[in-house]
């Protein structure tokens, strides 16, 4: 498939922005090598930027407070994944103690634990307890893999367990034994669209899983839910107006997050359903090819995508990355 041409003026605009935007533009859109001087300079500036060092500092408190809402964009697991998306590595300044703290909380099953609290009515203890769920564990493991630890035995063990939970219709709602009988508001046999999404995000990053039966089952489930979005809403996950709003970072269940993940699978890039998603996003560009956030997370209001009044370089980069892969 022929890659779309991005206007040179738009590339210049992206390169003139924050160092993480410039760094990822060079690597993801221009295909520049990590060893090139300009790439290294932008990456060094990113690592030294106060917004990035601030996130690294916050993550020193891992695993942090109990995860009461996975949709809450200020949770430490989402900040961990955002640093992974930027391109931080396990040995970058401030990261070794963060990585060590995450690895120190591996469960008997394999996935890494966070604090949670499940009421006795759902089979839990009613007190803060370390455990994991399919709506957080894949994000944590994805982050470790992106930091460069995908081949570590502890990480590989976690991936194996999570991938093994797949069913014919993707990934269900599932929790560790500490979660008791808890599960989300849906039929037991239904897939959880969000768990399915972040599991695909994890597997797309791992070469040995990218073309696996598990990845194919999850991807088809995600696309089928899009295809039948008016009638199928498992676990009360809708794909309506709010789902189609462009927003960053990639935290929850929305069109950009889904498009980013599915477009990473080479064997999906000609799928008309993915093409339809890309066309919807492409239509939201301004006359210069830039994208403005249509919804925001208040926890990220210090970043350029934390407002709805002006085009965001980071959001623009994310959308164009999908469009380039899909050709939409």
For the chain (328 residues), the mean pLDDT of every run of 10, in chain order, is: 78 98 98 98 98 98 86 90 98 98 98 86 76 95 98 98 97 88 80 96 98 98 93 84 97 97 96 97 97 97 97 98 89
Residue 3's pLDDT is 62
Per-position DSSP letters for 231-295, written without gaps between them: T--GGG---STTTTS--SSS-SSSHHHHHHHHTT-GGGTT-HHHHHHHHHHHTT--TTS----SS
Instruction: Report yes or no: 176 and 115 within 8 Å, Cβ to Cβ.
Output: no
Location of structure tokens 């002006």: 310
**What is the structure's pLDDT at 39?**
98
Q: Quick one: pLDDT at residue 1?
A: 45
Among 226, 228, 227, 260, smallest CA distance to 243 is for 226
- DSSP code for 27: I
Crossing angle of helices 313-326 and 8-15, in 10° steps, is 140
Rounded-to-integer distance, Cα 27 and Cα 169, Å: 34
Q: Given this model, what pLDDT does residue 327 score?
A: 84
Q: How far apart are CA 166 and CA 281, in angstroms?
A: 29
Q: Answer yes or no: are the C-beta atoms of 179 and 120 closer than 8 Å.
A: no
């Amino acid at each position: 498939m022929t890659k779309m041409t991005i206007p040179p003026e738009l590339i210049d605009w992206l390169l003139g922005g924050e160092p993480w935007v410039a760094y990822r533009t060079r690597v993801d859109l221009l295909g520049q090598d990590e060893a090139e001087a300009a790439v290294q300079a932008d990456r060094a500036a990113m690592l030294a930027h106060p917004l990035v060092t601030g996130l690294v500092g916050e993550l020193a408190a891992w695993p942090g407070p109990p995860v009461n809402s996975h949709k809450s964009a200020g949770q430490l697991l989402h900040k961990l994944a955002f640093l992974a998306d930027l391109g931080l590595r396990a040995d970058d300044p401030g990261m070794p103690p963060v990585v060590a703290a995450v690895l120190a909380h591996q469960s008997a099953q394999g996935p890494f634990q966070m604090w949670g609290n499940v009421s006795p009515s759902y089979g839990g203890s009613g007190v803060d307890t370390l455990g994991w769920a399919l709506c957080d564990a894949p994000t944590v493991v994805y982050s470790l893999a992106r930091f460069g630890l995908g081949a570590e035995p502890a990480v590989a063990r976690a991936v194996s367990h999570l991938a093994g939970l797949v069913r014919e219709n993707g990934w269900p709602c599932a929790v560790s034994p500490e979660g008791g009988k808890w599960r989300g508001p849906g039929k037991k046999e239904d897939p959880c669209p969000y768990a399915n999404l972040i599991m695909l995000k994890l597997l797309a990053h791992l070469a040995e899983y990218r073309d696996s039966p598990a990845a194919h089952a999850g991807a088809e489930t995600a696309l089928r839910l899009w295809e039948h979005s008016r009638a199928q809403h498992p676990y009360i996950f809708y794909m309506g107006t709010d789902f189609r709003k462009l927003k960053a970072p990639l935290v929850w269940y929305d069109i950009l997050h889904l498009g980013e993940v599915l477009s990473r699978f080479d064997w999906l890039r000609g799928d008309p359903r993915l093409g339809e998603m890309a066309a919807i996003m492409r239509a939201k560009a301004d006359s210069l090819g830039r994208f403005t956030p249509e919804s925001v997370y208040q926890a990220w209001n210090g970043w350029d995508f934390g407002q709805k009044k002006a085009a965001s370089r980071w959001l623009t980069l994310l959308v164009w990355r999908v469009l380039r892969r899909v050709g939409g």
